[in-house]
Structure 1
């Protein structure tokens, strides 16, 4: 550059938005982009290989596209620098480059949102934070909405934001006459299963992506996951292809079967768009507009369009607002006093429970699981067992390709584990093995019986469910949203409940004895 560096533009691995506000005032003659790959970001939680590979491959693709514009990109690739952390890498380049300002949008993780501005301050370089246009709702908007509310309910927020944004409205009223079509979206497959399923659009790795896959295999050998089927979208064009494919082939039945599960079927009618959205390869407005247009053009039923839009405009924006409102103390919440270690099989997939085994194989191999597998299999078991919230949070953050802390932490601590005491959801998502039997075929052929709570063939979900009701009876038996559920305890003889608790204690002891220390620190 012929002139001193004016702006150094920070782009993190989950900020790959080509239309980000950080680029609004970019001058190729005086400005530069800064991106870095650092080992610590893959090992502070024991990240799965698909997650690491997705972030690195998508980052490198953006780097090359920006350089193709003639822009200067200072890119620190793994193996090309000695910095142990993102903070250390940035500090070294601020000393070397001495920009007048560093321009950024807020990082998607509380840790980095505190540490990176501190790095700039220590270097005497202003940290200039510009608005994040990717989201519908910024932190101040959400704080205004939440002010005065003791509890945060997504349904209330969702209706407020739909009205404000004019989404799925006809003359100011909800399209189809209802705000929520969830009652129509609880379908399950009969014994014949889903039948033929349209395969989601896949993207074969190009030579650069194959280099990334080889790098990840070499440097992160002990991490979970497989890369032989890696096929995620890596740029906006591919993300739009994935969106179009979803709308044409799976959205019509997404609503009806969004809560269903089937052994060996990781995708079913789900979109696979969360990773592209969370890395900001595609924006939620584009996704929501396309889905609403598909309904208005008669391509999909209203329950499918509304159900999907509720996940994006409703739940995704809601959990982000809760995250920034409640951090950093959110991370330490443990209302139910959960104190069990995460079972070792969450890292290996080796368990006799068919539903857990299938969900874990999807997760560990592909870096993916749809929301019911996450909430009502993996999260449910941890809730009933009483897994320490921080441990389950670290596992979810490590294994899913779409995991960024602002979206993952509230889903795990607030929704799956009820660790915040009901600030996010009105009651814990507690259920027995009968729920899994109703919504899947996992119980067929499994050695455990979902209708039994004691004995050798008792389903651990069912045993732990009744134990959960006993352990938390005082808290929930008079709660207006849970009193009916807890009243079922009165129908079981005391001796039977004593046997349930004894069997549950044995499950906990066996799993705790076989657990292993949480990963971290080394690749």
Structure 2
């Protein structure tokens, strides 16, 4: 513990690693003259899932900068570093030490973003706990419960429309109907690059690491030396000022073409036209209201088309709020759902990128290097392959939670287990998101550099995505036949000869037995 002359303490306000908002801290009743702020780095938070170094560094660098900013403004901050002597290694162990040292009358904190941690804190007996609902979000638990109560099925599209109307975002002059006459412009947002590729792209929004970030990196290398990923190219915004700069650059440089190319992929191009703001949003360096307002203002100025602005806002006002509602409504049982009875292990090469399929190699290598892949790379490359292969959804969830810098369980788990793996049986999505290798061929140039042919389902040159796609339909025929959006694919499978079906089944089995690759 630090050496201080004044340990007087009314309350301890515990700021978790994804709650780096000064406004939110003061909203919990924090008084810098009477209270202490507690912040804790803990090895256990990087080992309960095997977190990559970029993900851990994102949290630690942002936390350390936030603590420095609070201290500079006169707050008393008790900060427990990962590499501090006598560190217990766990959040609750360090909390116990801090409470014994400060002896507060109460512990204040904003609700954690993980059920696991929330349950552990609720169970504390050593001090009265006052847990505040997170003011960062636009939809409260009560509001989502009211939305869900009125419906037999939960679908993001209807939730999103309610949120648009309630928050008065992108509405027409009458204040009721959607701007442009439609709630959703997905049909305009499915473009891919031609053979020439994306061409000249806006420069990446790099933020060179400063001394604080470099010290956090050194601590990670010391305490977590065997964790995957590298931090040599780490350049994420880890302060509010840098996050605001990144937001401004996205609005000016990338938003105009974001919609058209949001689903496109290209070999070696990590950033394309995406915002790269999700980590800053999830750590609360940015507020969703200001991000939505900035995008809407760009549309009204004529700086970005409606299709791009609506598609971007839908990800924040729609998907982000919706998955949080799903998470808190269905946890903790949600984590155990496995509607497709998938039990294959996650292939080891998900931790290295050493795989013959070019799309998977490119996306996983990029992920381990930067802690980032955009939503289609996650859903329709790494996620799709795990779904078709039949990987245990909890193992897929653990990987996604470990590798991405923006991964916090409230947002990652429903997107992975529900949207990507369909393990919740349709709570999140109306159908499994399945496709053959031809989808990847249409949306990228990965297949040009790959030894496998996406048009083939059998044979040594057949794309494993395509083989496993037809095998998935074969395995789940009855369920898919009952889904109006996928029944046609079952009928297409029925046209296969008996010999072709046998060959698909045999090759799918061989792929699984060989660790996920032929």
TM range (shorter): over 0.9
Q: 1:68 aligns with which of 66, 72, 77?
A: 72
TM-score normalised per structure 1: 0.96
Counterpart for residue 440 of structure 2: 436
- 2:329 is aligned with 1:331: no
Distance 1:27 1:485 in 2: 61
Counterpart for residue 13 of structure 1: 17
Q: 2:90 aligns with which of 79, 85, 94?
A: 85
- 2:236 is aligned with 1:232: yes
Distance 2:449 2:28 in 1: 58
The 8 Å contact of residues 359 and 381 in structure 2, kept in 1 or not, is answered as yes
SS at match of 2:446: coil
Following superposition, the deviation at residue 3 of structure 1 comes to 8.0
Distance 1:513 1:435 in 2: 19
Q: 1:156 aligns with which of 135, 155, 158?
A: 158
Q: What are structure 2's unaligned runs of at least 5 residues?
A: none
Following superposition, the deviation at residue 5 of structure 1 comes to 1.5
Distance 2:87 2:230 in 1: 27
Counterpart for residue 49 of structure 1: 53
Deviations 1:382-422 (A, max 9, x none): 00000001100000000000000000000000000000000
Distance 2:517 2:404 in 1: 26
SS at match of 1:330: helix
Distance 2:410 2:355 in 1: 30
SS at match of 2:139: coil
Following superposition, the deviation at residue 6 of structure 1 comes to 1.1
Counterpart for residue 519 of structure 1: none
How big is the alpha-carbon RMSD for the aligned residues of Structure 1 and Structure 2?
A: 1.4
Q: 1:26 aligns with which of 14, 26, 30?
A: 30
- What aligned pairs does 1:232-311 form with structure 2 within 5 A after superposition? 232-311=236-315
Counterpart for residue 506 of structure 1: 510
Distance 2:516 2:491 in 1: 30
Counterpart for residue 371 of structure 1: 375
- 2:137 is aligned with 1:135: yes
Number of residue-to-residue matches in the alignment: 511
Q: What are structure 1's unaligned runs of at least 5 residues?
A: 515-523
Distance 1:432 1:479 in 2: 18
Distance 1:434 1:320 in 2: 32
The 8 Å contact of residues 21 and 131 in structure 1, kept in 2 or not, is answered as no
Q: 1:200 aligns with which of 195, 199, 204?
A: 204
Distance 1:23 1:168 in 2: 29
Following superposition, the deviation at residue 338 of structure 1 comes to 0.2
SS at match of 1:402: coil
The 8 Å contact of residues 389 and 516 in structure 2, kept in 1 or not, is answered as no
Deviations 1:270-327 (A, max 9, x none): 0000000000000100000000000000000000000000001000000000000010
Distance 1:98 1:481 in 2: 59
Is the deviation greater in 237-246 or in 13-22? 13-22
- Kindly tell me: are residues 510 and 288 of structure 1, through their superposed partners in 2, closer, same or farther at Cα, counting changes over 3 Å? same
Counterpart for residue 415 of structure 1: 419
Deviations 1:440-497 (A, max 9, x none): 0000021000000000000000000000000000111122232122221122112211
Counterpart for residue 520 of structure 1: none
Following superposition, the deviation at residue 512 of structure 1 comes to 6.5
Counterpart for residue 322 of structure 1: 326
Following superposition, the deviation at residue 2 of structure 1 comes to 5.8
Q: 2:485 aligns with which of 481, 485, 493?
A: 481
Following superposition, the deviation at residue 117 of structure 1 comes to 2.5
Counterpart for residue 358 of structure 1: 362
- 2:100 is aligned with 1:95: yes
Following superposition, the deviation at residue 12 of structure 1 comes to 0.4
The 8 Å contact of residues 379 and 412 in structure 1, kept in 2 or not, is answered as yes
Distance 1:407 1:339 in 2: 23
SS at match of 2:447: coil
Is the deviation greater in 252-261 or in 135-144? 135-144
Distance 1:149 1:21 in 2: 35
SS at match of 2:304: coil
Distance 1:470 1:502 in 2: 12
Counterpart for residue 126 of structure 1: 128
Distance 1:148 1:447 in 2: 51
The 8 Å contact of residues 57 and 234 in structure 1, kept in 2 or not, is answered as yes
Distance 1:144 1:126 in 2: 30
Following superposition, the deviation at residue 151 of structure 1 comes to 2.2
Distance 1:250 1:325 in 2: 35
The 8 Å contact of residues 463 and 504 in structure 1, kept in 2 or not, is answered as yes
Counterpart for residue 114 of structure 2: 109
Distance 1:53 1:77 in 2: 13
